[in-house]
Amino acid sequence: MDFSTLRNLISRYCAGEENWVDSRTVYIGHKEPPPGAEAYIPQRFPDNRIVSSKYTFWNFIPKNLFEQFRRIANFYFLIIFLVQLIIDTPTSPITSGLPLFFVITVTAIKQGYEDWLRHKADNAINQCPVHVIQHGNVVRKQSRKLRVGDIVRVKEDESFPCDLILLSTSRDDGTCFVTTASLDGESSHKTYYAVQDTKAFNTEEAIDTIHATIECEQPQPDLYKFVGRINIYLARDEPVARPLGSENLLLRGATLKNTEYIYAVAIYTGMETKMALNYQSKSQKRSAVEKSMNSYLIVYLCILIGKALINTILKYVWQADPNRDEPWYNERTESERQRHILIRAFTDFLAFMVLFNYIIPVSMYVTVEMQKFLGSYFITWDDDMFDEELDTGALVNTSDLNEELGQVEYVFTDKTGTLTENNMEFIECCVDGHVYVPHAICNGQVMAAAAGIDMIDSSPGAESREHEELFFRAVCLCHTVQVKEEETVDGIKRGIHQGKATSFYISSSPDEVALVEGMKRLGFTYLRLKDSHMEILNREDEIERFELLEVLNFDSVRRRMSVIVRSNTGEYYLFCKGADSAIFPRIVSGKVDEVRARVEHNAVEGLRTLCVAYKKLSHIEYEEVCHLLSSAKLALQDRDKKLSEAYDTIERDFILLGATAVEDRLQDKAADTIESLHKAGMKVWVLTGDKMETAAATCYASKLFRRSTQILELTTKRTEEQSLHDVLHDLSRTVLRQHGSMIRDTFSGLSNEFQDYGLIIDGATLSAVLKPAPEGGGGASGGNYKEIFLEICRNCSAVLCCRMAPLQKAQIVKLIKASKEHPITLAVGDGANDVSMILEAHVGIGIMGKEGRQAARNSDYAIPKFKHLKKMLLVHGHYYYIRIAELVQYFFYKNVCFIFPQFLYQFFCGFSQQPLYDTAYLTLYNISFTSLPILLYSLIEQHINMDILKKDPSLYRDIAKNSLLRWPIFIYWTFLGVFDAVVFFFGAFFLFDNTTFTSNGQLMTTNTQMMFGNWTFGTLVFTVLVFTVTLKLALDTHYWTWINHFVIWGSLLFYVIFSLLWGGIIWPFLNYQRMYYVFMQMLSSGPAWLSIILLIMVSLLPDVVKKVLCRALWPTTTERIQNADKLYGGHLSEFTPLSSLHAPPPRGQKRPDGQNPLPPRRSDSPPPKKKLLYTHWGGGGPDYCTFSSILPPLGDNPRLSGAAYAYNAPGPETSL
């Protein structure tokens, strides 16, 4: 036993050091350090194998069976089956065993197939080739065989096979460019740096001579944090130690770009990589409907036990009289008679349990499985959800959650690639108040393609022209864009076009690429950075060279970046660009008001704006700047603080040049989809790894935040100024001020009567909020932050979480799931960074985007575009829930109808466990006679037209919070079943009231002239039962097709034909012929026909009366729309919105009139070929919001559909 290891473990877990992390030592190339340098202690690390599957070949059967028998129903049926095997029961064990075996087998095959697909995907990753340096040679290995300490060579466009420390690159400066789209959703290029002392080792032979060790922290899930150091052994001297940070760490899943090759050493492999640590384990998800089914099952189980107990007690009360002992024909053996009374009673109790066990329908679980499996094909077959660009439609990975799509309350969405196309577009720039739009207005002149423009700026003068060119140069120079020449094809560069060299740009910020490309369209082309000189091609096709002297990098606190350049004439310029709030306070001259007005106008449009300014520096000033920067960069303590102070000193006294506007184009109909989700009663949260400013601009563009929204910030910047405790309480007071301590309506933010709040929180602050309270730190300062945070979120109409690590996204979802309302959550994303969130939510939806298919593969459902979420939830989700709710209630109802007469019959047969129905009827009732109609109903029923569901999202609220499976509705269905059962039993019983013996000794009823016997009685009850429950479903069916008719009437016909055959032939394989001629004898009596019709009518009467009265007096929104749809012959969907058909509002509620119409979104309309400066939006379009009431009696006081979104003012606000 290694006592040091034990001591470490004890100190780690018992010493209370919460953030204590031990370190690991990695020997580069597995080389021991020189003798005497340090002890060589080889450590064991996992291999590079990734495992996302749930089962193995060996544990599949036991693990799957354990999971399946955790379901109450499956466990119950297993017990019943074992009881039937052990004791003598009235029915055969096959009646319980076969359906159970079928359910278990089908489920196991389905789950096994899904896991096999995961195994297949894992193998594809684990077996992909990687190149490792061994003894100066490149050796090809499978990814899974990679070990910590291996030196790896990665080429351009290859993904990193594990977490690596960068040693050297093909570039002389030791940098490389990487895209981390699959990690944090950002497809922009990020720069990483090799260790200064190793960057020269850039060949196989050289890299193999490195003698070094790396000491670093043990694996942590935080993508943005890494602490380590490298010790490089040069000759026999002391090792040179260099710090390592996140800028040296290349993460698994990221891709190398614009760099020919790199050499790096593996430090974290397999399930220890940061990406793997951010994965959630895949757990079994259960829908709310399934939980309701389990609750009902427990109630029916109690009813069953109650019935069996009552019958057992009454049996022994009955037999207490010596004259009423058990009848002789039951043939009890002497040993059975001598048993202890308790054992006899227990055996009888179990026999009654088996007799009545049909009240708990095993076939319901079979039908539900089939309904989910077959119903999922409607999503994959939906042409509206097919994307021609990707040439793919929606995919269903898990059919268990179909109905959950109709119950969603919170939607958590990624931003980049999910809401947006991840594609920036330059829209316009403004210089000294003059607006320039590419290809439309340039230098105040109208271009040929811009004839339709309504307003043109006047031509700028000579001074303005100088400022204009300076602005274009500033934008062309103030960036960190890299230029990549297009690949050569047959020795000819594709980049040469019309005599000009055209290349494409890459950068860590897609905004910068859009700006440089925008300048190119306006006549100034950035060519390259060569030998520290930036080259620009101006409008006169002349190349201008500027020497790049300093770059003051962008950071989220300053919110700006600057460059210092020297022109050919020797002048020094400081160009700065940044957010308006970071630039305007530092301006000393320039046309601030004009530029500010344009910036505000563009911000309202949802565009991302940046301001550009400059100042000239003398040589002396430049020397001072250089000294200030170099002293800050060389500081070992508080380097960041000293750098920010230096930047603050340098970036002052600017002259304003102008501003730019860039659009991160939203995905088609993304804003309309979010609007619809809001109207449907869902809260939408955006969780992104992106910067706050970028994410906020997208939220405005997608209408997640509205113009009137008051933004509340819970960010690092604010918590640095105030304590977290104070900030949270301030925000809490702000959102609750209007309503005192009352929690306002979740969706009141969409009305103009309330202040609309939106919350922005970043990853660092979220960590602080979710941090558990310190021991003994109670009260407000303790750890009550979580509750306050949730309270603030509940009162905000939208929440934006930025700079989120993948695991933090999952933590947010988990936090909301665990809140006291226990809402149903849905997460949607497109990258590997969204997988944890997708797995944590009740329903996970992957988008098949540009960032690989990991999200789609790990999700429950996959869709091509975000816009398809609207139909998936509002139509498919709505239908699935309505159908399965009816299926569950109907199954319990028909089984109450089926088994309650059996219970009543025991009072008339001396509690002898005599079945009322024949064995064939007992077995086939749920399997054949009544199963197909409800299965078909649960697949194709459409209670409301599909177009109406899409156009009136507020209908989704009618089924929210599992409203159709609540206890009052369940009790109604149960009592309806008991009433029908009493009618069947006693109706048939009174028909047989007067009986006489015939001449040949048979018993015949005097009033119906029908042979009397227990099988005739049972068959009559069963016939009425089958017809009643089938016709009840026919009454509930709203959407009739030929298939419904065929299945419903076909089932009844099948029952009649089966009964005629079953009782009309002497079957040789049966050891009894008790049903022979019974059915025919019954139907030969005219009064029996009349009785059957009468009993069916009496049974259905209460339900029909209830339906008629409720529709006439208290119609629901659904019933109003159904009535109106019939009135208009199925064309109601052409009349929108349907606010006049909603229930009246509460007394005193005002209509929000007088809303100003909002301009349409840029991203909602197809992009014009040429961007125009101004567009006048007239009122020429149809006004969808002022239709008069469709049904005059209902239109006097219409309810506002979609939380006050059905405006009575004209305008394009409601996107239909």
Per DSSP, 929 falls in state I
The helix (run of H) or strand (run of E) holding residue 341 is: helix 341-356
What single-letter amino acid sits at 1032?
K
Question: What's the per-residue H, E or C state across 266-320?
Answer: EEECHHHCHHHHCCCCCCCCCCHHHHHHHHHHHHHHHHHHHHHHHHHHHHHHHCC
Task: Tell me the two tokens of residue 4.
Answer: 């040091």
Q: Are 839 and 280 in contact (CB under 8 A)?
A: yes
Judging by beta carbons within 10 Å of its beta carbon (0-12, 13-18, 19+), is residue 999 exposed, middle or buried? exposed
Tell me the residue type at 854: Q
Question: What count of other Cβ atoms lies within 10 Å of the Cβ of residue 737?
Answer: 9
For residue 271, what are the CA distances in angstroms to 21, 215, 280, 760, 806?
Answer: 18, 20, 12, 32, 15
Distance CA 607, CA 425 (A): 10
Task: Give the amino acid at 147.
Answer: R
Q: Using alpha carbons only, give the angle 673, 677, 678 rounded to the nearest 5 degrees.
A: 120
Cα distances (angstroms) measured from residue 160 to each of 48, 182, 1001, 1016: 12, 12, 92, 77
Contact of 99 with 366, CB cutoff 8 Å: yes
* DSSP helix/strand/coil, 567: coil
Instruction: Report the amino acid identity of residue 62.
Output: P
DSSP 90-123: SS-THHHHHHHHHHHHHHHHHHHHHHHHHHHHHH
Q: How far apart are CA 453 and CA 371, in angstroms?
A: 57
User: At a CB cut-off of 8 Å and minimum separation 6, what does 112 contact?
Assistant: 55, 60, 64
Q: Is 250 helix (H, G, I), strand (E, B) or coil?
A: strand
Task: Report yes or no: 1128 and 1135 within 8 Å, Cβ to Cβ.
Answer: yes
Q: Is 414 a catalytic residue?
A: yes
Q: Is the peptide bond before 33 cis (omega within 30 degrees of 0)?
A: no
> DSSP characters for 127-167?
TSEEEEEETTEEEEEEGGG--TT-EEEEETTPBPSSEEEEE
Farthest-apart Cα atoms in the chain, separation = 134
Residue of 150, 414, 980, 1125 with catalytic role:
414
Q: State how far the Cα of 496 lies from the Cα of 473, in Å rounded to an integer.
A: 23
SS (H, E, C) 614-661: EEEECHHHHHHHHHHHHHHHHCCCCHHHHHHHHHHHHCCCEEEEEEEE
Q: In a 3-state reduction of DSSP, which class is residue 396? A: strand
Output the six-digit token pair for 1142.
């909603």
Q: Are 608 and 511 in contact (CB under 8 A)?
A: yes
Residue 602 CA, chain-centre distance (Å), reads 32
Distance between CA 250 and CA 230 in Å, rounded?
15
Q: What angle do CA 670, 672, 678 make, to 5 degrees?
A: 105
Q: Which two tokens stand for residue 172?
A: 């002389």
- Residue of 1056, 1054, 1047 lying closest to 933 (CA atoms): 1047
Catalytic center residues: 414
